[in-house]
């Protein structure tokens, strides 16, 4: 790759930082051999479940923000229409 991709660079830095933090906390890498296939699947499932919770939270906040924006836009339009 001749041109640097800033998004890719950012993600790679985050992966490295995450791996460093994980090793510091658990003293293990993903090269570990003490988990079975099903245990790895369980870890993945738990991570994905967490991800859906984060997504639900963000969607909920955006719905609230969108509703507030619509209310504010309506008030602005009312002010402009009554002038």
How do residues 17-52 score in pLDDT, each as one tens digit? 999 999 999 999 999 999 999 999 999 999 999 999
Question: What's the whole-model pTM score?
Answer: 0.65
Question: Which residue's entry shows tokens 């504010």?
Answer: 72
Alpha-carbon distance 44 to 38, whole Å?
10
64-82 per-position pLDDT tens digit: 888 788 778 877 777 776 6
Token pair in block for residue 2: 């001749």
Whether residue 1 lies inside any domain: the answer is: no
- Residues 17 and 15: their CA atoms lie apart, in Å, by 5
Integer CA distances (angstroms), 17 to 11, 14, 36, in order:
10, 5, 26
Q: Per the structure block, which two tokens stand in for 68?
A: 């507030």
Q: What's the domain range around 23?
A: 6-28+35-81
Of 81, 30, 68, 29, residue with least CA distance to 60: 68
Residue 69 lies in a domain: yes
Q: Give the number of domains in the chain.
A: 1
């Amino acid at each position: 790759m001749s041109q640097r991709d800033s998004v890719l660079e950012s993600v790679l830095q985050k992966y490295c930082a995450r791996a460093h933090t994980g090793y510091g906390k658990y003293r293990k890498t993903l090269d570990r051999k003490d988990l079975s296939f099903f245990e790895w699947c369980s870890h993945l499932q738990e991570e994905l479940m967490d991800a859906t919770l984060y997504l639900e939270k963000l969607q909920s906040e955006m719905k609230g923000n969108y509703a507030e924006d619509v209310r504010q836009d309506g008030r602005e339009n009312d002010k402009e229409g009554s002038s």
